Homo-oligomer: A and B are copies of this chain.
Amino acid sequence: MPDAANPAPMNARRKFRREGEERRRQDLIDATLDSVAEHGLEGATLRTIALRAGVTAGLIRHYFPGKADLLQEAYAALMDRMTEQAKAALLMEDASPRQRLAAFVTANLNAPIIDQRVFSLWATFIGRAGADPTLARAHREGYLGFRNEVEAVVAEVLAAERRKPDAGELRHHAIAINAIIDGLWIEGCLAGEMFSPGELAAIGIKAIEAELGLAPEKQFQEK
């Protein structure tokens, strides 16, 4: 797109500004994620990414040794942002374990984590985990971290109910709850408009409480 409206010094070199290194890296990573979400992994070319970031392609090599490194850092950034928001919900100090678990589920099943673009990115990257050991390990670690968080909260919730599950039970609960959250997350991302706001979170909380054998929240209930 030649900018013909300029006072046109015919061989003018493009104007540019020097940004801080951190800023530039972040911009490039953001542009990478946008491009991948739109065009897929190999469809996101260095030139497309550079255009989106408002720089020229050559600059990318100044900050990243190669395209593979850029993609890897972009994937790491994506995972960070996703888990960061979710984990924040677990940090509420003055709440019961059960409230914190509910908040965790709610955070995971609403915007911005329920988001089609985020899901596209996740699927695109994870689709290559089978062939790319680096991606596979990154995912494995993220997954286990997530599941351990779940397991810890579950342990607290059950402890508050004066129940003492063994390690196997705890692990099974964590696996099931993780699956519930993941599955609902996918449904929400791919068909968000089929659910009313908060509906997915409500379904998730109810399913998890059933899995843990907790009585419904609002009132005491005889069984």
Chain A interface (Cβ < 8 Å from any Cβ of B) = 37-43, 116-117, 119-124, 126-131, 136, 139-140, 143, 172, 175-176, 178-184, 186-187, 190-191, 195, 200, 203-204, 206-207, 210-211, 213
Contacts and interface: CB of A to CB of B under 8 A. Distances in A.
A40 B39 contact: no
Contact of A40 (B41, B120, B184, B190): B41
**Oligomer: number of copies:** 2
Contacts of A128: 40, 120, 124
Contacts of A183: 178-184, 186
11 contacts: A38-B131, A41-B43, A120-B128, A122-B127, A123-B126, A123-B127, A175-B187, A175-B203, A176-B180, A179-B187, A183-B186
Contacts of A139: 190
Contact of A211 (B39, B172, B207): B207
Given A123-B126, A131-B120, A207 B41 contact: no
A206 B172 contact: yes
Contacts of A204: 176, 179
Contacts of A124: 123-124, 127-128
A40 B39 CA distance: 12
Nearest to A124: B127
